[in-house]
Structure 1
Amino acid sequence: MDKVIRMTLLYDFYGPLLTERQQKFFDLYYGNDYSLGEIAESYGVSRQAVHDMLKRAENILVNYENKLGLIDKFLVQRNKLAEVARLLNEAGELAPQRLVKARKLLQELLEMDRG
C-alpha cells in the first residue's frame, strides 16, 4: 500500500489520539500536500521541527495500529463485503451455491464484530 494512503488511513482511524499540533501538521502535510518548509514558515518553526513532529506522529499511529489492528480488520471486512456483493450480482443460474457462500461471508463479518 502506498505510504500516503496508509498514513491517511492511520490518521482516519487514530488521528484524534494525536495532539492538536500533531493533527494540524499531519493534516497539512498529508491532507493538503504542504511541504515541510511551508508548514514551518506558517508556524514559525524549523523544517527539522516539522519533520520530527511528523515522524513522531507517524510512529504513534503505526503503534496504535500494531496494538489494535483496526485497519486490518476494516480491510478484511471491506474485502468480504465486496465478495458478497459480487456473489449476489452474479447469482443467476448458480444462485443456490452463490447465496450459500454470500451468507457464510456475512456470518463471518458478523462474528468479527463480536470478537
Structure 2
Amino acid sequence: MDELSKNEALGDLYAMYSALLTHGQQDYFEDYYYNDLSLGEIADNRHVSRQAVYDNLRRSAKSLEKYEDKLRLLASYSQLEEGISQALASLAAGDQETAKLQMEDLLQIIRGE
C-alpha cells in the first residue's frame, strides 16, 4: 500500500473511531494528517521530542486499526453503501424485483443475519 492510500485509510478509520482515542491522540493525529504539520513542528508546539510525536502517531494508528479489526464498523458501512448504490441502480434501470431483493439483503446485514 502506498503512502497516500495508507493515509487515506487512516483518515477513514479516524473519521469512524476518533472518539475512542484520547484528546491528546486526536490532537496529534489532526495536526499531522489534517493540518499537515511536520513531526518537528508538532514536537515544538507540544514541547516534546520528535520521537514522542512519532510514537504517539504510531500508537494512534495501531489503535484505530485494532478498533476496526474488532468492531468492523468501517467495513460494514462500506458494504451497506455499496449495497444501497446497487439497489438504486436497479431501481433506476426499472428492475424493482432486483432492488427489492437487494434491500432485503441489506436488512439482513443490518440485523446481523
Q: Indicate the percent of aligned positions where both proteins have the same amino acid.
A: 39
Which residue of 25, 32, 46 corresponds with 1:29?
A: 32
Distance 1:11 1:23 in 2: 9
* Aligned residue type for 1:54: L
Describe how 1:60-99 pairs up with structure 2 within 5 A. Answer: 60-91=63-94, 98-99=95-96
Q: When the two structures are aligned, how many residues end up with a matched partner?
A: 109
Q: Cα distance, 1:87 vs. partner?
A: 1.5
Q: Look up the SS of the partner of 1:73 in the other structure.
A: helix
Which among 102, 106, 110 is matched to residue 103 of structure 2?
A: 106
**Alpha-carbon distance between aligned partners in 2 of 1:81 and 1:29, rounded to the nearest angstrom:** 34
Q: What's the counterpart of residue 23 of structure 2?
A: 20
SS at match of 2:65: helix
In structure 2, how many angstroms separate the alpha carbons of the residues matched to 1:58 and 1:64?
10
**Structural RMSD (CA):** 1.3
Q: Which runs of 5+ in 2 are unaligned?
A: none
Shift of 1:76: 0.6
Matches of 1:77 and 1:38, distance apart in 2: 39
Counterpart CA distance in 2 for 1:3 and 1:44 is 28
Give the deviation of 1:90 after TM superposition: 2.0
Aligned with residue 3 of structure 1, among 3, 6, 28: 6
Q: Tell me how far 1:78 sits from its aligned partner.
A: 0.7
Tell me the TM-score normalized by structure 2.
0.89
C-alpha distance in 1 between matches for 2:11 and 2:46: 22
Q: Tell me the distance in 2 between the aligned counterparts of 1:78 and 1:26.
A: 26
Can you list the C-alpha shifts for 1:75-96, whole angstroms capped at 9, x where unaligned? 11111111112122222xxxxx
Q: TM-score, normalised by structure 1?
A: 0.88
